[in-house]
Structure 1
Amino acid sequence: MMNRDTFKIIENYMILCMGDSAHDKDHIYRVLYNAMDIAATEQNVDYDVLICACLLHDIGRKEQLENSKLCHAMVGGEKAYQFLVENSFDTAFADKVKHCIQTHRYRQYNPPQSLEAKILFDSDKIDATGTLGIARTLFYKGTVGEPLYSLLPDGRVSDGTTDENPSFFQEYKYKLEKLYDRFYTARGNEIAKERRQTAVSFYADMLREVSDTYNQGMELLDETLEEV
């Protein structure tokens, strides 16, 4: 059974591994608390596996940040397994935690299978919904030096739908907008739906503001230059 001493051992290792500001220890705690909320509505949850997986699900972020070809979920799963085995946890338990971590990422392949993996997946995705998800995405984009938006060939602002180059608008259309149909649990889906409109409104308002600035400004600049 997970007790406070065991929790602290796992928590301390998590803290040592964290370095990404958008995926910091506060993100970990929010995911853990989301998971507790969801788990309370489910039956036969293995809380030991769930709590451990939530704490360790992003410990591979540093490796991915240093090498973009690496998947933090796959790296993190392996690191978690090794850590748990080295600290006398049962290999079967370590395997269950590893599965949760390696299937928590937003991808079509390798979906979560166990109930605990599905809860972790939903809990992590909830933290990418609503205004909190917007804020975290902007934080991350700034950290890696990516822009808010891209421009179309005519110089106007792209809404991100067909963009290939990374930006906040591209991330919103590619990922954030589509999150709300990807939840496995009823409670996770409920929480996400409650947050959805704030994200939609933020994106729409930001797109309108920057588009108006470009459209009006470009027209006025053209008129001024023609007059000169």
Structure 2
Amino acid sequence: MDRAEFQAIEGYMLQQMADMAHDAQHVYRVFYTALDIAGWETEARRDIVAAAALLHDVGRAAQARDPALCHAQVGAEMAYRFLTRELGWDEGRAGHVRACVLTHRFRSDRPPESLEAKIVFDADKLDVTGAMGIARTLLYAGQTDEPLYRLDGEGRVLVDADSPSSFLQEYNFKLRGIAGGLYTRRARELARGRQKAADDFYGALLAEVTGSLERGRAALDGLLRETGDF
């Protein structure tokens, strides 16, 4: 990939990005992380990794307009058309990028197969680990009106897999296990360095919520006893 190709792909990406939780800065973080991981994988085709990382979320706007669409599937076709029609890439090279974009999403029925696809997958997932992952998840929750936590009928915080969606449920059920599903050694190494920050935040927030609820209910019980309404 030469500078002109990079700038053309970067420019196309910038035209597509609007979602605050999946904005251009997210793409750049994934791009740089993917290049870092590729540097540890001697057989990786870095031109494919670079193009796929830059283009992995170009289908986000289409999914935002129609939630029935899969941004990875839409984005894969957008990336392929752009590379073949605008940059003149051959079918094999552009098709490789298409496959990387198609499989970057966390889907058990469509795992990444090539080394390059696994690198892009890992780089994207690393951006939902650590402090950045917490920040992005909270930002996305605000965009979608998702609460920080939900309570069951007995007033306990719901964090299990089958509980209604919330930030604490999302972190406990999905995000804290991201590191275990990464493919490359370098990505797992980076994830370990970030995990403590995220786990500490989750633990502190859960402790503050449960502590406030417990103390508040005890105080309410005392108030009702004093007034004879208990």
* Distance in 2 of aligned mates of 1:114 and 1:209: 44
CA apart distance, 1:125: 0.8
SS in 1 for 2:216: helix
Looking at structure 2, the residues matched to 211 and 163 of structure 1 have their Cα atoms a distance apart, in angstroms, of: 20
Query: SS in structure 2 opposite 1:136?
Result: helix
The alpha-carbon deviation at position 162 of structure 1 amounts to 4.3
Letter in 2 for 1:102: L
Amino acid at match of 1:33: Y
Matching residue of 2:24? 25
SS in 1 for 2:41: coil
Q: Cα deviation per residue 1:132-160 (whole Å; 9 max; x = unaligned)?
A: 101110011011111000011112322x1
The residue type paired with residue 108 of structure 1 is S
1:60-71 equivalences under 5 Å are 60-71=59-70
1:150, 1:163 within 8 Å by CA — same for their partners in 2? no
Paired residue type of 2:74:
V
Instruction: Indicate the RMSD between aligned Cα atoms, in angstroms.
Output: 1.2
Runs (4+) of structure 1 moved beyond 4 Å? none
Give the SS at the match of 1:206. helix
> What is the TM-score normalised by the length of structure 2?
0.94
- CA distance in 1 between counterparts of 2:39 and 2:161 reads 40
TM-score by length of 1: 0.95
- What is the distance in 2 between the residues matched to 1:142 and 1:194? 27
Alpha-carbon distance between aligned partners in 2 of 1:109 and 1:193, rounded to the nearest angstrom: 26
User: Cα 1:116–1:203, aligned 2, differ >3 Å: closer, same or farther?
Assistant: same
Asked if residue 164 in structure 1 is aligned to residue 163 in structure 2, the reply is yes
AA matched with 1:222: D
Matched positions, count: 226
Structure 1 residue ranges without an equivalent (≥5): none
For 2:71, the equivalent position in structure 1 comes to: 72
Q: Does the 8 A contact of 1:163 with 1:170 survive in 2?
A: no
Question: In 2, Cα distance between the equivalents of 1:50 and 1:162?
Answer: 33
Superposition pairs of residues 199-218 of structure 1, within 5 angstroms:
199-218=198-217
Aligned-partner Cα distance in 2 for 1:163–1:134:
21
Is this contact kept in 2: 1:147–1:167, CA < 8 A? yes
In 2, distance between residues paired with 1:62 and 1:218? 45
Alignment of 1:104-183 (within 5 A): 104-158=104-158, 160-183=159-182
1:100: which partner in 2? 100
Structure 2 residue ranges without an equivalent (≥5):
none
Is the Cα–Cα contact under 8 Å of residues 17 and 23 in structure 2 kept in the other structure?
yes
